[in-house]
Amino acid sequence: MTITPTLIREYDAAAPAPEATETATFGLGCFWGPDAQFGAIEGAVRTRVGYAGGTKVDPTYHALGDHTEVLQVDYDPDRCSFRDLVAVAARSHDPRREVRKTQYQNVLFAGSAAQREVLHEYLADVGLDPEAIATRVERLSRFYPAEDYHQKYSLRSDPSLSGAFEDAGYDDAALRESPAAAKLNGVAAGNDLPDGDDLATAFERTVGGR
């Protein structure tokens, strides 16, 4: 089995629908790496990168204003919890230090009162005071998707993978929201996929057959 348009379409058709998922948003430096990291996680369904945390309306990469680069992940709550994702985000950086440049700062966003409660409980459980740590802990007011060329960066950098999505008829928006693209972007960046994921074997056969 290799990465084919049929495999991509079937994988995406079998994934949970958007209304069956919940969403987490984190700022963890340059968003390319977190996009790949979180896309490979068990229970992650869709990912996208963008900008949040600031006040500028309609930011762009070259006119970012006071926003931060962020990763957004839609996850299946039956297979993964918000607390699980917070734990991954917290382990991905040092909460006691913050970079100066707003664009690449670490931010743990709460999209709801329930997420805020989980965030505070997790930080307390690991001995961190959300009011004292350097990492920003904020309410998510709005998320702005980044430009298409930033979405699924590792996948886009591999013609054997991006070409399969083109052959499947996926445009930029479909690629951004594709569960198969989230997983393949993760493995293309060197992350392991969950055990039993068909895309892991297909990826190895695709890249190994060059």
Q: Inter-axis angle of helices 179-188 and 198-208, to 10 degrees?
A: 50
The residues near 63 (Cβ < 8 Å, ≥ 6 apart) are 56
Active site members: 30
- Give the type of residue at 76: D
E strand or H helix at 101: none
3-state secondary structure of 145: strand
Beta strands in the chain (DSSP E): 22-28, 44-52, 68-75, 106-110, 136-139, 143-145
What gap in Å lies between CA 160 and CA 14, rounded to an integer? Answer: 23
The Cα 69–Cα 78 span in angstroms is 28
